[in-house]
Amino acid sequence: MSSPLVGKTVFITGAARGIGEATARLAAERGARIALVGLEPERLRRLADELGPEHGWYEADVTDQAAMEKVAVDVVRDFGGIDVVVANAGVANNGTVAINPAEAIVRTIDVNLIGVVRTVKSTLPMVTARRGYYSLISSAAAFTVLPGMAAYCASKAGVEQFGNALRFELAYRHVGVGTVHPGWIDTDLVRDIKQDSSVFAETLKKLPWPLNTTTSVDECALAIVDGIERRRRRVYVPRAVGLVEKLRPITLGPIGALPIMAQARQMVPKIEREMEKLGRSFGKTSAGLNKKPPRTSAPRKRTAAAR
């Protein structure tokens, strides 16, 4: 049976690795043409080459409005339009609010939430013209919290609510909006967190099911692509994360907070000592971070015509 993605153009941010890369590969297998957007040009180029000449790559920072608008125009020029946008680019800063530089905390929110807003805004006319679909990558962290994840949880909760409101706003334009809520996925980002903090790695093992499990990146991509094909309102990875969402009034209430508070009194000082010793605010594989923020620049691209 033919996929609804055959011949469609799928615009993916954070496409160089992890969830973005796996989603790009699967969507391409199902017949979509992929516009790969990110900050790692060599990885993007290699992936585009592997996928084939009908796919293209574009270097841009999702926090740069001018660059994202330029990319959207370039993708329409190269592919004829945009049918689906997967707003996936994301980062996670290490440690607590007390020990992190303000710039690191703000950067996490800027990439994860404001980057989604800029991605949507820059592509909206094109997606509207095709009566397309937005897949906004939120997280189980939108409705669960742990010490050391304040900026990440805030940003992902923001993506969830942005998507909820956007869904209503775009309904009369026949544009679909879905939010994706992965738990722990076996990506470089999650592996970096576990490697950088032994306390955090041990804490994850003690969480209740399904929050103590790690899902493969391919399984996550499958859920996202199936959600795109069905224009789903919500996607949970794994599906059991949906149960966690239903329990949020309890887990975030006074009683549900008691076990986390008890752990936090010992966990937080240990995390802070580890992160101070580590001496950096982001994982080693976080593109464009652990150094001066990237400058505003015009996006670079490679398309079939350039080959």
* pLDDT tens-digit map of 61-78: 999 999 999 999 999 999
Contact 275, 36 (CB under 8 A): no
SS3 sequence, 183-235?
Answer: CEECCHHHHHHHHHCHHHHHHHHHCCCCCCCEECHHHHHHHHHHHHHCCCCEE
CA–CA distance from 47 to each of 15, 16, 42, 107 (Å)?
A: 9, 7, 9, 26
What is residue 288's predicted lDDT score, i.e. its pLDDT? 60
The pLDDT of residue 24 is above 80: yes
User: Which range of residues forms the domain containing residue 230?
Assistant: 9-306
Q: Looking at the domain assignment, is residue 193 inside a domain?
A: yes
Strand order in the sheet with 234-237: 234-237, 176-182, 133-137, 84-87, 9-13, 33-38, 56-59, 300-302
Listed range (74-88, 159-173, 217-231, 237-251) with the worst mean pLDDT: 237-251
Rounded to an integer, the average pLDDT of 212-216 is 92
The pLDDT of residue 306 is above 80: no
Q: Is 134 marked active-site?
A: no
Local structure of 273: helix, strand or coil: helix
Q: Looking at the domain assignment, is residue 3 inside a domain?
A: no
* CATH code, 95: 3.40.50.720
Contacts of residue 276, Cβ cutoff 8 Å, sequence gap at least 6: 95, 99
Rounded to an integer, the average pLDDT of 259-279 is 88
Q: What is the DSSP letter of 289?
A: -
The model's confidence at residue 303, banded by pLDDT at 50, 70 and 90, is very low
How many structural domains does the chain have? 1
Rounded to an integer, the average pLDDT of 15-24 is 98
Contact 203, 173 (CB under 8 A): no
Tokens of 228: 């795109």
Local structure of 13: helix, strand or coil: strand
C-alpha to C-alpha distance for 197 and 271, rounded to whole angstroms: 7
Q: Looking at the domain assignment, is residue 163 inside a domain?
A: yes
The model's confidence at residue 279, banded by pLDDT at 50, 70 and 90, is confident
Local structure of 16: helix, strand or coil: coil
Q: Looking at the domain assignment, is residue 290 inside a domain?
A: yes
Contact 54, 302 (CB under 8 A): no
Q: Looking at the domain assignment, is residue 281 inside a domain?
A: yes
Taken in order 244, 247, 253, 259, the sign of the CA dihedral is: negative
Rounded to an integer, the average pLDDT of 186-191 is 90
Whole-model pTM: value is 0.91
280 versus 117: which is more confidently predicted?
117
Q: Looking at the domain assignment, is residue 1 inside a domain?
A: no
Q: Looking at the domain assignment, is residue 2 inside a domain?
A: no
The model's confidence at residue 284, banded by pLDDT at 50, 70 and 90, is confident
Query: Helices marked H in the chain — which ranges?
Result: 18-29, 41-51, 65-79, 102-109, 115-129, 150-170, 188-196, 198-206, 217-229, 241-246, 248-251, 254-278
What is residue 255's predicted lDDT score, i.e. its pLDDT? 83
pLDDT in tens, 104-129: 999 999 999 999 999 999 999 999 99
Which residue is catalytic, options 58, 133, 134, 152? 152
The model's confidence at residue 257, banded by pLDDT at 50, 70 and 90, is confident
Q: Looking at the domain assignment, is residue 4 inside a domain?
A: no
Listed range (8-22, 166-180, 217-231, 264-278) with the worst mean pLDDT: 264-278
The pLDDT of residue 291 is above 70: no
Q: How many CB atoms lie within 10 A of CB 209?
A: 9
Share of the chain above pLDDT 90, in %: 70
The model's confidence at residue 253, banded by pLDDT at 50, 70 and 90, is confident
Listed range (20-29, 76-85, 143-152, 275-284) with the worst mean pLDDT: 275-284
Tokens of 172: 């009369």
User: What is the chain's mean pLDDT, rounded?
Assistant: 91
What is residue 301's predicted lDDT score, i.e. its pLDDT? 54
Rounded to an integer, the average pLDDT of 234-259 is 90
Listed range (48-57, 59-68, 101-110, 203-212) with the worst mean pLDDT: 203-212
